[in-house]
């Protein structure tokens, strides 16, 4: 999911929700391989492309598609082959594609599925038994930054300034705790929100405090954003002129469920 847009760049509320056309082979043919993947060695994570190899992880046409290389890193760190990864905000299915390549089992859910292998379910009430997942990876809506769906269950309908967004996230974290195995890992990929002129909403910090109520922190990484809008002169000029900053990074919060 992409981070917040600068002033006037966010999509209008109520826009048509996403439904991707069929594309049986999502591998991008004819493009050179991207840099070789390797685990990020510091807490500043960076990679020049959303996908890796010859692509085919998720769909670049999906607004807010999660970086595939980031999922690759998290999964290889914390999940052995055959382990179960759960993605409650699965979007275009990037997590499913990465896990298939890595020989991990994955289950994806979304309130507005755009693929047949993504099941329709609310992240606050997953159709899973207790204690089955090795990893829960979450890339939720960053409040109402983007319009994903007209479904009233969508967290993207809740403004960043509204405490209902925090309460909804907390219920998602409680559900993640329920489905995780003891010592299982939750990974949250999220970004703060800035709306001009109303101001800055540190939803990343707010989310981390909610997570700490249930999980033990492992680490925090800052993930460099490579978003085309960040390079647009009009956006940079507006930020300079009006004294605000464009969102240049996302948080990756890594925490572990307590031992039973």
Q: CA separation (Å) from 92 to 152, 237, 252? A: 20, 32, 19
Q: What is the pTM of this model?
A: 0.83
State residue 62's pLDDT score: 65
Where are the domains positioned within the chain? 44-257
Task: Give CA–CA dist 14/160, Å, rounded.
Answer: 17
DSSP code at position 112 = S
State residue 12's pLDDT score: 37
State residue 61's pLDDT score: 74
The SS3 call for residue 21 is coil
CB-based contact 65:91 (threshold 8 Å): yes
State residue 11's pLDDT score: 38
Q: E strands of the chain, at which residues?
A: 44-45, 84-87, 105-110, 118-120, 133-138, 180-190, 193-195, 199-201, 215-224, 249-257
Cis upstream peptide for 148 (omega within 30°):
no
Task: Give CA–CA dist 66/60, Å, rounded.
Answer: 9
State residue 148's pLDDT score: 62
Q: CA separation (Å) from 88 to 33, 166, 198, 243? A: 30, 17, 30, 36
User: Judging by DSSP bridges, how do beta strands 118-120 and 105-110 pair with one another?
Assistant: parallel
**Tokens, residue 172:** 């998602």
Task: Give CA–CA dist 146/150, Å, rounded.
Answer: 12
CB-based contact 253:211 (threshold 8 Å): yes
CATH class of residue range 44-257: alpha beta
pLDDT along the chain (260 residues), means of 10: 43 42 43 81 95 86 84 98 98 96 98 94 98 98 71 72 92 98 98 86 96 99 84 72 78 95
User: Which of 188, 151, 180 lies closest to 1 in space, CA to CA?
Assistant: 188
CA angle 22, 69, 75 (to 5 degrees): 100
State residue 228's pLDDT score: 66
Contacts 24+ apart (CB under 8 A), 30-39: 31/55, 37/69, 37/72, 37/73, 39/73, 39/76, 39/77
State residue 160's pLDDT score: 80
**Tokens, residue 162:** 């509204």
State residue 13's pLDDT score: 36
Q: CA separation (Å) from 59 to 114, 161, 206, 257? A: 10, 30, 29, 31
């Amino acid at each position: 999911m992409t981070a917040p847009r600068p002033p006037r760049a966010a999509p209008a509320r109520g826009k048509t929700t996403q439904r991707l056309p069929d594309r049986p082979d999502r591998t991008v043919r004819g493009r050179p391989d991207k840099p070789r993947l390797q685990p990020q060695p510091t807490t500043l994570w960076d990679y020049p492309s959303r996908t890796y190899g010859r692509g085919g992880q998720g769909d670049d046409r999906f607004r807010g598609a999660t970086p595939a290389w980031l999922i690759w890193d998290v999964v290889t760190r914390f999940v052995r082959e055959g382990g179960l990864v759960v993605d409650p905000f699965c979007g275009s299915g990037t997590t499913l594609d990465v896990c298939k390549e890595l020989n991990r089992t994955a289950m994806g859910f979304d309130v507005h599925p755009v693929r047949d292998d993504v099941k329709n379910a609310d992240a606050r009430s997953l159709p899973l038994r207790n204690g089955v997942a090795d990893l829960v990876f979450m890339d939720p809506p960053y409040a109402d930054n983007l319009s994903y769906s007209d479904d009233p269950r969508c967290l993207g309908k809740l403004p960043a300034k509204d405490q209902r967004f925090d309460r909804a996230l907390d219920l998602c974290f409680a559900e993640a705790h329920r489905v995780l195995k003891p010592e299982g890992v939750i990974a949250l990929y999220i970004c703060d929100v800035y709306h001009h002129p109303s101001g800055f909403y540190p939803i990343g910090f707010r989310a981390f405090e909610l997570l700490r109520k249930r999980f033990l922190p492992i680490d925090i990484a800052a993930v460099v954003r490579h978003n085309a809008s960040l390079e647009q002169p009009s956006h940079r000029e507006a930020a300079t002129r009006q004294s605000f900053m464009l969102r240049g990074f996302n948080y990756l919060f890594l925490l572990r469920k307590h031992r039973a």
